[in-house]
Amino acid sequence: MKTRTLLLSAATLVSASALAQETAPTPQNIMTPGWQDASSTLAVQTDLNYTYDAPGTAKFLGNRLDKSDASALDFGVDTRLRLNDDWFVPLGLQSDNYFLDGVPGAPVPDDINTLHLRTGLGWHFSDQWTFTGLAGPALYRMNDINSDDFGAFGGLMATYRANPALLWTFGVMISPDNDVPALPVVGLHWQINDQYTLEVGVPKTRLTYHINPQWSLYTGLAMNGTVFRSDEDLGTKTGNAQYNNALATYRDIRLGVGTGYELFQGLRAEIEAGYSVYRRIDYQDIGQEVDFNPAPYVRVGLSYRF
């Protein structure tokens, strides 16, 4: 429990500038992408990522069971509708898809597929301050959909540009079905100099070294995950019927190094490798978890702004 608390506390830091946010939000990481930065000229941002976690031993009810690997494919798109010089409407969509190896005797789903939509209202109060309210529906699975497969989330965020190189973010995010229903957030994006950039936040904390305008190297911590509802027969298959239609949170925290390259203006590719240091399925209503031992991972990603 202490380890879990420390990890969740570390995850409360959030980045908010147009350069900082490469991954579109989910209920766990729906922190502000570029459209909240008053200086951003972002029209549309799309992100596509594929990640593979090598097999890690699953632990359930105190037992060490078989190993299970995981693949993740996520896609997000964000934009904003400008109402006037002061007001704007953020719009976004996020699809999170995870594919896991089943583990005999443990409620590990073969796949997790969720979808989130979001909108809100933003206000450029001044050259330094921007405030945004966000809300939207969530779909916790893509098959056998019932009324309890829908959820909602929201939040209030503020960004403060202390100077041209430093942007702060403050706020709170609310996701009632998450294992952490209310998450206070604070983070920064700091252009230290022409070569180094520091981002502190969710879904990633990253130190980047810019070799030239196209190439960069980076190291840091990233968190991914989603709230989902299990299949109608997941518990029956594993001998624990209480896990049928169960609400859960899947979370994967990774520590790695990588490189990025701008293929052409607006299109950026990344590849990274490291360790998945904390991977868990938390059935919050049941009070049980499935933990996976740390294991290596690789990720490739594309982001496009136009």
Q: What is the pLDDT of residue 238?
A: 80
Lowest mean pLDDT among 30-34, 265-269, 285-289: 30-34
- The strand pairing partners of 155, in sequence order, are 134, 173
Checking if the pLDDT of 108 tops 80, the result is: yes
Lowest mean pLDDT among 27-41, 73-87, 185-199, 274-288: 27-41
Q: What is the pLDDT of residue 203?
A: 76
17's CB contacts (< 8 A; 6+ apart) are: 34, 37, 40, 159, 167, 189, 199
Q: What is the pLDDT of residue 39?
A: 44
CA neighbor of 201 nearest in space, from 159, 261, 250? 159
- pLDDT tens per residue, range 143-170: 989 999 999 999 999 999 999 999 999 9
Checking if the pLDDT of 37 tops 60, the result is: no
The mean per-residue pLDDT over the stretch 5-14 comes to 36
The residue to which tokens 């409407």 are assigned: 89
- What band does 17 get if pLDDT is binned at 50, 70 and 90? very low
The chain-wide mean pLDDT, for the chain, equals 86
Residue 283 to residues 60, 101, 220, 280, Cα–Cα distance (Å): 12, 18, 28, 10
Q: What is the pLDDT of residue 167?
A: 95
- pLDDT tens per residue, range 81-99: 999 989 999 999 999 999 9
Q: What is the pLDDT of residue 42?
A: 55
The conformation of residue 243, written as its DSSP 8-state character, comes to G
Checking if the pLDDT of 36 tops 50, the result is: no
Q: What is the pLDDT of residue 186?
A: 87
Q: Helical H runs in 184-304?
A: 234-238
Do residues 232 and 245 lie in contact, with contact meaning Cβ atoms separated by under 8 Å? yes
Neighbours of 213 (CB within 10 A): 7
Do residues 108 and 58 lie in contact, with contact meaning Cβ atoms separated by under 8 Å? yes
278's CB contacts (< 8 A; 6+ apart) are: 3, 7, 251, 252, 253, 294
Checking if the pLDDT of 13 tops 90, the result is: no
Report how far residue 214's alpha carbon sits from residue 219's, in angstroms, rounded to the nearest whole number.
Answer: 17
Do residues 153 and 116 lie in contact, with contact meaning Cβ atoms separated by under 8 Å? yes
Task: Domain ranges for the chain, please list them.
Answer: 2-296
**Cα dihedral angle (63, 65, 70, 76), rounded to 10 degrees?**
-30
For 231-266, b/e burial (b = at least 16 CB within 10 A) is beebbebbebeebbbbbbbbbbbbbbebebeeeeee
Q: What is the pLDDT of residue 144?
A: 87
Residue 286 to residues 170, 237, 240, Cα–Cα distance (Å): 32, 17, 11
Residue 37 to residues 11, 73, 123, Cα–Cα distance (Å): 21, 27, 10
Lowest mean pLDDT among 41-45, 253-257, 298-302: 41-45
- What band does 35 get if pLDDT is binned at 50, 70 and 90? very low
Residue 204 to residues 144, 198, 218, Cα–Cα distance (Å): 33, 11, 11
Report how far residue 240's alpha carbon sits from residue 104's, in angstroms, rounded to the nearest whole number.
Answer: 11
- What band does 18 get if pLDDT is binned at 50, 70 and 90? very low
- pTM across the whole model: 0.85
